[in-house]
Amino acid sequence: MGTEIPKQFIRVGGIPVLMHTIQNFYDFDPSLQLILVLPADEIIGWNELCRQYHFEIQHQIIAGGDTRFQSVKNGLSLASDCDLIAVHDGVRPLVSHETITRCFNCAAEMGTAIPVLPANESVREGSMSKSVPVDRSRYFLVQTPQVFKSSILKNSYNQTYISEFTDDASVVEHSGTTVQLVMGDRENIKITFPEDMMIAELFLYSKTASRVYNHLKG
């Protein structure tokens, strides 16, 4: 992002990105157990932000590890006995409730679910000096939340870490479980670059304007 502030703490729509993400899942289902995994040296700063912005949605916090794998494993240690567990990127604040619902419904039936989008641009494989075109209809862009039966996810994270583990789906697949794909949504962007902040602002403005219109209309 080119800033000293961690991207999950940068303000969009007046509050830190991470607060939007937590609020979104709370609005989806207030009964969800919300577990936040942060680098150990960011926890004090997060608690201060919660006080500053009067952010009072209940959530548990645990320090992450050196890898995404270890961070998720640490978070799973706090998960209560439940049927399904969703793992979501904190910097994806705009995932729709429809996508979350599709993921939970699929995982409840099939045991696993990850949201994806079909690749809509030409795709090439190789390096900058030598590459070949590939059939983009065979490729998907992976999003979160990735949702799994609790037993499947926890058992998968008992494996030894390997560098090929880039997300929860890759961990689960390595344990021998097939991963089911469901349709994601275009607004479910991962805030990574400065221009993503502008896109997120536009989406948030659009959602707010729509809620105000529906309220006045009602």
Give the span between the Cα atoms of 115 and 106, in whole angstroms: 10
Residue 212, pLDDT score? 42
Residue 216, pLDDT score? 41
Q: Where are the alpha helices (DSSP H) in the chain?
A: 17-28, 43-52, 68-76, 97-110, 150-156, 168-174, 194-217
| pLDDT > 90? residue 211 | no
Q: How many CB atoms lie within 10 A of CB 192?
A: 12
Give the span between the Cα atoms of 53 and 123, in whole angstroms: 43
pLDDT digits (tens, 9 = 90+) for 21-76: 999 999 999 999 999 999 999 999 999 999 999 999 999 999 999 999 999 999 99
* Sign of the Cα pseudo-torsion (187, 193, 198, 200, in order): positive
Decide: 154 and 160 in contact? Cβ < 8 Å.
Answer: no
The torsion angles phi and psi of 93, rounded to 5 degrees, stand at -80, -10
Task: Give the fold, CATH level 3, of 7-217.
Answer: Spore Coat Polysaccharide Biosynthesis Protein SpsA; Chain A (3.90.550)
pLDDT digits (tens, 9 = 90+) for 145-195: 999 999 999 999 999 999 999 999 999 999 999 999 999 999 999 998 888
Decide: 82 and 70 in contact? Cβ < 8 Å.
Answer: no
- The strand pairing partners of 124, in sequence order, are 133
Grade residue 1 by pLDDT with cuts at 50, 70 and 90.
low
Distances (CA, A) of 29 to 32, 77, 116, 124, 163: 6, 22, 22, 40, 34
Grade residue 202 by pLDDT with cuts at 50, 70 and 90.
confident
Residue 218, pLDDT score? 57
Instruction: Establish how many alpha carbons lie within 13 A of residue 69's alpha carbon, considering only the half-sphere containing its beta carbon.
Output: 16
Residue 210, pLDDT score? 52
Grade residue 19 by pLDDT with cuts at 50, 70 and 90.
very high
Which tokens belong to 101? 């619902």
- pLDDT exceeding 90 applies to what percent of the chain? 82
Question: What pTM does this model have?
Answer: 0.90
Any idea which of 66-80, 100-114, 175-189, 201-215 has the lowest mean pLDDT?
201-215
